[in-house]
Structure 1
Amino acid sequence: MTPRWAALVSEVRAHPNDNLANFLDASGRSLEDVLRKDKSWTSLRRTAGKLTTPEGPLEQRLVKRVRALAHLDDQTRRDAYTALLNGQRLTSSAEQRFVAMLFYSLFPDGGDFTDAAAGLTALDGEPVIDEMREVIDIAFGAAHRIARPLVELAPALADVPLAVHARYSREEILAALGWTAEGRSPSTMREGVAWCPQVNADAFLITLKKTDTDYSPTTMYRDYALNRDLFHWESQSTTSAASPTGQRYLQHRERGSHILLFVRENKTNALGPTPYIFLGPSDYVSHEGDRPIAITWHLRHPMPTEVYLASRAAVA
């Protein structure tokens, strides 16, 4: 049961310091208890009288987005995000993708900024930045999978700073793959497939457990693991094998394009949209049917055992 806000405020007021991790350990609370839909640790401290610095101009928007950082679980992203929140400016091609990933995590609709760099510059002096750094450290400390750099499995994607078996939000995925470079914001994406011409890759964002309330009859695709190396996936119901999109899927190796699979068990969790686990690059094995096309993909790196078991449970 989610604790009442007044009870949390009282606990924070009585706590001897302002360290979030220390409060969670001492109180037995979880990040899910603190990071609400429209509030966060910063909100709690203000209400409890523990934070007296003036409220930043973006604070009311940012406290709603701190939870978007609570899944971070790979070292490279942790270091990059922390550097950006500390005011450092990253310049390489791969580093610039981290700029976009963090920016769209905080501003999924683009936030009316001219570009991602301007949006991050606007964070300077915001008190909530301290909380963001804390949440990143807590999330990384709880990570239990070993994440492998994508470049090791797909050398042509060296500038894409994703790690296989790490977790990512929709915003991070689209930003990392250059989909947002076309001036599009992740909040406008309504489909589970994204062609990203900047990196010559198709990204499939797959939810294993689909419900009638979240998906229409034409989007209840049958997506599931056959084993830890093979994944059964269905295209959109309007995609034929002969169409340009269908041909790109089926002939991706001949054409030099990439197929990237991202999977989550449910659409939402206690913190909002559930992040996806990146299963990595995959290769065509076989297909059958049309509109939708049922395709079997071979993963270049076996999926985590818990993902395979969750997939099998979803099918059952």
Structure 2
Amino acid sequence: LRLAKGKESCLILDFVGRHREEFRFDRLLSKLTGLSRAQLIEAVDKGFGLLPPGCHIHLQRQTREQVLRSLRKLVQQNWRRLRTELQAYAALRGRTDIRLASFLAEQAIELDDLYRSSGRSGWTNLKRDAGLLSGPTGSEDDYFGRRFGDLLHIDDPARTDLLCSLREPDAAYRARDERERRLLQMLAYQIDAQQHQKVSGEDFLQRLQRHPEHTAELAELGGVLQARSSLRAQPVPGLEDVPLCLHAAYGIREILTALGWLSPSRRTPFQAGVLALHERKVELLFVTLDKREGYHERIAYRDYAISPELFHWQSQNAAGPQTPAGRRYLESPGNGWTFQLFVRAAKGTPYRACGPVTLERAEGAKPMSIHWRLGVPLPGRLFREFSILRGA
């Protein structure tokens, strides 16, 4: 695998034999690709489209079927296996000294193993099923156990600090200013995914604190997320008053709540790729790079990073040089409008707050092809993920 002068490629042949039934293909492939188990199942089935530029994994049909069977069986048996592992771990460590972070690290378990979209899910529920919690089952145990899985992307230091501040189950957390109120509102709307149910962050926190075991679980989860994040707190240029961190990961509800478009009194579904905030003269550009799933061919725009400083973006189909949207782009920045770029690799993954972009050049119509210059260059990790060569 070593680099050498004149060496342009490296071919690795791995012969998959008749492995024992409990062989962990997920750990092997996750180490190679950086993909979660859910992403691995799709990648093995449909192709590894999220690999770094220049990398390719090809599985022969029989091997692919064997690996898929193993991964799917692991998912189906996952909760029973986790319960058994936690019971054995508690027998060694003592029932009163069980912490999420140490259990995950010492048992080589991923958060994705624990937080699942269906069935039993979550740290509190696992402890209860393993016999480590003696209290009665809560009315919202299943709901919170599943919904906390929508927080696993959080790497913004301010947001992990908020979760950790809930460390004591009966702690009376109070938002001190508008920024902290927005952070709390972001948490409320990310956990509570019911699109038409409006609630304030304070009211949601009161609801959560009626379930102290889940409040404590959030604090433990915050500690795990905080430990694995390498981001430093840095506001998004041009949005310094908004509780967003440059290059941090966010769901769409979190971004819209941070900017006040979603609020305790307003919760409107949003599915478009752009959002013009006329009162701020800021337009948000939401980009999904891999549009193979869930997008009609007519909106399969070609978007990609050309370099850490330049991003190629195609407007919506209706935009042309003479349309209001097209004029906003072409006449900026003299017209006072600014643009903020949010990019995700594929549907179902979080967006990255890439910061402000300015017009470099534009051509064509319906859609327009625009080169944006980023105010802050992409870190190497994000450039590789968003590059034109991704998946090549």
Q: Name the TM tier (shorter chain).
A: 0.7 to 0.9
The match for 2:189 among 75, 94, 104 is: 104
Question: Which residue number in structure 1 is paired with residue 94 of structure 2?
Answer: none
Question: Which residue number in structure 1 is paired with residue 85 of structure 2?
Answer: 11
Confirm or deny that 1:26 pairs with 2:111: no
Question: Which residue number in structure 1 is paired with residue 258 of structure 2?
Answer: 176
Q: 1:131 to 1:84 in 2, by over 3 A?
A: closer
Residues in 1 aligned to 2:275 and 2:163: alpha-carbon distance in whole angstroms: 24
Confirm or deny that 1:72 pairs with 2:154: yes
Shift of 1:235: 1.1
The match for 1:136 among 222, 231, 235 is: 222
| 1:42-96 CA distance string (max 9 Å, x none) | 2211211212223333333221111222122232222234446744121422222
CA contact (8 A) 2:341 2:353 kept: yes
**Partner amino acid, structure 2, of 1:14:** A
CA contact (8 A) 1:241 1:247 kept: yes
Report which stretch shifted further, 294-303 or 13-22.
13-22
Confirm or deny that 1:195 pairs with 2:195: no
CA contact (8 A) 1:9 1:48 kept: yes
CA contact (8 A) 1:177 1:199 kept: no
**Partner amino acid, structure 1, of 2:352:** I
Shift of 1:125: 2.7
Gaps of 5+ in 2: 1-70, 91-96
| 1:138-172 CA distance string (max 9 Å, x none) | 1121113445222xx32xx3320111111111121
- Identical amino acids, percent of aligned pairs: 32
Residues in 2 aligned to 1:82 and 1:73: alpha-carbon distance in whole angstroms: 13
The match for 1:243 among 313, 323, 347 is: 323
**Partner amino acid, structure 2, of 1:293:** M
The match for 1:294 among 369, 375, 390 is: 369
Q: 1:251 to 1:36 in 2, by over 3 A?
A: same
Confirm or deny that 1:253 pairs with 2:327: no
| 1:180-201 CA distance string (max 9 Å, x none) | 1395437x22222222345432
Give the alignment's TM-score, normalised by structure 2: 0.72
Give the secondary structure class of the aligned counterpart of 2:220. helix
Map 1:85-100 to 2 at 5 A: 86-100=171-185
CA contact (8 A) 2:320 2:365 kept: yes
CA RMSD of aligned residues (A): 2.2
CA contact (8 A) 1:177 1:196 kept: no
The match for 2:241 among 151, 159, 163 is: 159
Q: 1:224 to 1:27 in 2, by over 3 A?
A: same
Question: Which residue number in structure 2 is paired with residue 119 of structure 1?
Answer: 204
**Partner amino acid, structure 2, of 1:281:** P
Residues in 2 aligned to 1:29 and 1:12: alpha-carbon distance in whole angstroms: 11
Q: 1:183 to 1:234 in 2, by over 3 A?
A: farther
Residues in 2 aligned to 1:196 and 1:89: alpha-carbon distance in whole angstroms: 29
Confirm or deny that 1:217 pairs with 2:302: no
Give the secondary structure class of the aligned counterpart of 1:181. coil
Residues in 2 aligned to 1:315 and 1:249: alpha-carbon distance in whole angstroms: 30
Q: 1:252 to 1:124 in 2, by over 3 A?
A: farther
Residues in 2 aligned to 1:22 and 1:298: alpha-carbon distance in whole angstroms: 43
Question: Which residue number in structure 1 is paired with residue 115 of structure 2?
Answer: 35
**Partner amino acid, structure 2, of 1:274:** T
The structure with the larger Rg is: 2
Moved over 4 A (4+): none
The match for 1:204 among 285, 289, 306 is: 285
Residues in 1 aligned to 2:208 and 2:179: alpha-carbon distance in whole angstroms: 21
Give the secondary structure class of the aligned counterpart of 2:389. helix
Give the secondary structure class of the aligned counterpart of 1:89. coil
Shift of 1:18: 2.8
Question: Which residue number in structure 1 is paired with residue 36 of structure 2?
Answer: none
Report which stretch shifted further, 301-310 or 222-231.
301-310
Question: Which residue number in structure 1 is paired with residue 384 of structure 2?
Answer: 309
Residues in 2 aligned to 1:161 and 1:196: alpha-carbon distance in whole angstroms: 17
CA contact (8 A) 1:81 1:98 kept: no
